[in-house]
Amino acid sequence: MDELKARILSEGKVLPGNIIKVGSFLNHRVDTALLGRMAEEFAKHFDISKITEILTIEASGIALASVCSYLWGIPLVFAKKAKSDNIENGLLCSEIYSYTYKKTVTVMVESEFIKPEDHILIMDDFLANGEAIRGLTDIVREAGATLEGIGIAIEKGFQGGGDKFRKAGIDIYSLAVIDSADDCKIVFRD
Amino acid sequence: MDELKARILSEGKVLPGNIIKVGSFLNHRVDTALLGRMAEEFAKHFDISKITEILTIEASGIALASVCSYLWGIPLVFAKKAKSDNIENGLLCSEIYSYTYKKTVTVMVESEFIKPEDHILIMDDFLANGEAIRGLTDIVREAGATLEGIGIAIEKGFQGGGDKFRKAGIDIYSLAVIDSADDCKIVFRD
């Protein structure tokens, strides 16, 4: 998606450890008009009419998934991290390693919110090593639902997470794939 | 908002400790069409044309704030909790006590994302004791910006957080105020 790539080049910052910061428009301050245009791009790739539910994970994926959910008229479920007081029994769970927080966290969805008959589109703002998304695919499998695909705004291709899903035959579509960010220079995959 | 109150009565669950669960439509599974109608209700109360930025806090407030942001054409900023690797220096911060997680957490916004000339509408899905929202008002004050008001989906009136802001002269508008949830019976404020 050319507009997204242009925003990454003009506003993104590469921090040590090849962390790519796009907090000015995607995951801290959020340009929701851009998210609306991203929804149009995803709808060109995925057959939205087949999707019964969008699944994302807190926190920053919620913004993109909410705008897509609103525009497509499809409900959204967001997986939660760690256990809080207001989550009851009956959970679909997966353990993932968070490189951001350097610890293992449990991602969970209450089992009543994903049914075996659901057709799920997983969405997130970022994909790097793919741990968070792998956790969400575990949850879809545990629920017995059908995974229709994975929609990502920005994929850090050089961390390999996206290609793992591609090799597994999953329909993953990223609006911008960054293949390297060495020396603070961002290079996109064609 | 009658539709919201009806959904709370039909789908909400009262858990021990007067925790009110509305995970089936607001903060786990999310009915974003309902969020769109909530945006219309908020727009009847607040002068949206004066707002330059919506401020919320991760995680569940992001869904409501994103749909409002999209429909109103106003950018969104969400405050983050705790420190992660991809937040640099230059932070607007406040300490809040999270009753959900039973610990003190730091909420933060990168200072470049709220300017002194901004007119801020704070939004969240829930307000109970008001700690999270108090943290956001601290951040608005620290930034030197103007707080135009606070928009809340569900206020637990019996926990007093909302009334503290009303007494302080802040324009806070909640679409549903629950005045008691004793014996699992939800009673709304008129």
Q: Is B51 left (phi over 0), alpha (psi -120 to 50) or beta?
A: beta
Q: What is the mean pLDDT of residues A57-72?
A: 97
CATH code for residues B2-188 = 3.40.50.2020
Instruction: State phi, psi for A113 to the nearest 5 degrees.
Output: -95, -5
Q: Is residue A82 pLDDT above 80, yes or no?
A: no
pLDDT (0 to 100) of residue A18? 84
Whether B32 sits inside 8 A of A80 (CB atoms) is no
Q: What is the mean pLDDT of residues B150-168?
A: 97
pLDDT digit string (tens) for A22-45?
Answer: 999 999 999 999 999 999 999 999
pLDDT (0 to 100) of residue A102? 81
- Determine the Cα–Cα distance for residues A81 and A99; give it in Å rounded to an integer: 14
Beta bridge partners of A28: none
pLDDT digit string (tens) for A106-163?
Answer: 999 999 999 999 999 999 999 999 999 999 999 999 999 999 999 999 999 999 999 9
Q: What percent of chain B has pLDDT over 70?
A: 96
Strands (E), chain B: 13-15, 19-21, 29-30, 53-57, 76-81, 91-98, 103-110, 119-127, 146-156, 172-180, 187-188
Residues of chain B contacting residue A16, judged by C-beta atoms under 8 Å apart: none
Check: CB of residue B163 under 8 Å from CB of residue B23.
Answer: no
- Determine the Cα–Cα distance for residues B66 and B108; give it in Å rounded to an integer: 18
Cα separation of the two ends of chain A:
11
Q: What is the ipTM of this complex?
A: 0.95
The pairs formed by B23-26 with CB atoms below 8 angstroms and a separation of 24 or more are B23/A86, B23/A87, B23/A110, B23/A113, B24/A112, B24/A113, B26/B60, B26/B63, B26/B64, B26/B125, B26/B153, B26/B154
Name which of B7, B29, B55 to mutate to probe chain A: the one with the most chain A Cβ atoms within 10 A of its Cβ.
B29
Which residue in A17, A30, A75 is closest to B66 by CB distance?
A: A30
Which residues of B have a CB under 8 Å from any CB of A? Answer: 15, 17, 19, 21, 23-24, 28-33, 35-36, 58-60, 62-63, 66-67, 69-70, 73, 75-78, 80, 84-86, 88, 100-101, 109-110, 112-113
Tell me B129's DSSP state.
S
